[in-house]
Amino acid sequence: MRQKQQYWLLPLLITAGIVTSWITYLYSASISLKWQEKKVGLNSECVSKHNEGLLWRQVQHQVVLSHRLQSKQAMLKEAVRTDVLTITPWLAPIVWEGTFDPQVIDEAFKSYNLTIATTVFAVGKYIRFLHDFLESSEKYFMVGMNVHYYVFTDMPGDVPGNMSLGVGRRLNILKVPKFDRWQEISLRRMELIQNAIEEYIHQEAHYIFCLDVDMRFHGRVGPEALGKLVAAIHPWFYWYTHNQFPYERRSISTAYIPLDQGDFYYQANIFGGAMEDIHRLTKTCREHLEVDKSVGVEALWQEESHLNWYLLKNKPTKLLSPEYVWDDLRGPGAKEIKLVRFSSVIKNKTEIRENI
């Protein structure tokens, strides 16, 4: 009897041992996993605080529609546009007329009460464009949302005082030094935007858009243009291949892009996104502009070259079609452009750029 008991006691002890060590292992593994998560969480918090020292206003991105408003039935077999690319190889949408329902977009964003900071540089003779820019912007740009304009100018007294702005829309004037060359505006803009974000804009807005002043709105530019990192495709280069883009091709510049690389050529006249993302963009471009300057290099298209380098390495989450950055010089001819929304006005560049 005693011997029989010992026979089955041994396997039982072994089994119990195995089970106990498994439980101990699983328990300690879950603790170490939790500890790692916590450590990572803490780390990323620290990094973001350490690097930026700024707190960002968070935006929730889910779409909420009221009961009244339903989207039109979308059919998977029907492409909305077949004449143009509507999605990038990295799955970012390209916004064209016909790819979205303005009513649905407006309804989806209405409840968030978002504030969009908008920077615009009206330095030297460029101040003459500010009135029409603002007037058209009030009509078409982010209508129904809070828009805080930040006008950077060397002549605050010449900012039109007769503008009437819509509800929730404000104009702030920031004085900047007079620049000697027109290229200087383009070289200093990133730095000035970065500093302005750090000093006050980050507390006041959810998104930021950086626009050129010698432009006019002709059609809706609404919340369909909002995203984490948003850039617009240049109206003169969208049928070209990347080896033909006017990227900076000299390897001495930090904006250098080899001939076999590139996605799109973006125009710097409009870019934007979440405050944190644009802060990182302007900071990086500013640093690269300074490195170039220290070795006496000026990239082919100044900040636009650096913007293109940045957007090649950091893919935009949304692209605006050339509807959003047209050029009046190109006229209305292109058949893929169903609606010109924002466009460069025709000007005598020699005259406007001399003795800025």
Catalytic residue numbers, as ranges: 304
Checking DSSP bridges between strand 207-211 and strand 266-274, what pairing results, if any? antiparallel
Placement of tokens 């979205």 in the chain: 100
Residue nearest to ligand NAG (CB): 351
Establish if 131 lies at the interface with ligand NAG (CB under 6 A): yes
- Which residues have a Cβ under 8 Å from the Cβ of 342 and sit 6 or more positions away? 140, 211, 215, 216, 217, 218, 219, 221, 269, 270, 323, 324, 325, 326
Nearest to ligand NAG of 251, 355 (CB atom): 355
Q: Is 121 annotated as a binding residue?
A: yes
Which residue, 162 or 241, is less far from ligand NAG as judged by CB? Answer: 162
Is there a binding annotation on residue 7? no
**HSE-CB of 267 using CA atoms within 13 angstroms:** 23
277 is in an annotated binding site: no
299-318 residues near ligand NAG, rule: CB under 6 A: none
**78 lies in the site for ligand NAG, by CB under 6 A:** no
Contact 341, 218 (CB under 8 A): yes
Residue among 113, 243, 244, 261 that touches ligand NAG (CB under 6 A): 113
* Residue with Cβ nearer ligand NAG (263 or 276): 276
325 closest CA partner among 229, 255, 207, 221: 221
Looking at the Cβ atoms of 160 and 166, the one nearer to ligand NAG is 160
Give me the count of residues in the chain. 356
For residues 204 and 275, give the distance between their C-alpha atoms in angstroms, rounded to a whole number: 10
Please report the sign of the dihedral spanned by the C-alpha atoms of residue 328, residue 143, residue 315, residue 253: positive
Q: Which is nearer to ligand NAG, 117 or 255 (CB)?
A: 117
Nearest-approach distance from CB 148 to ligand NAG, in angstroms: 9
**Is 95 annotated as contributing to ligand binding?**
no
Q: How many residues bind ligand NAG (CB under 6 A)?
A: 9
Residue 213 in marked binding region:
yes
Residue 284: count of CB within 10 angstroms of its CB: 19
Cα 115 from chain centre:
15
Binding string, residues 322-351; x marks residues near ligand NAG by CB under 6 A: --------------------------x-xx
137 in contact with ligand NAG (CB under 6 A): no
Contact string 140-169 vs ligand NAG (x = CB under 6 A) = ------x-------------x-x-------
Contact footprint for ligand NAG (CB under 6 A): 113, 115, 131, 146, 160, 162, 348, 350-351
Binding residues for Mn(2+): 212, 214
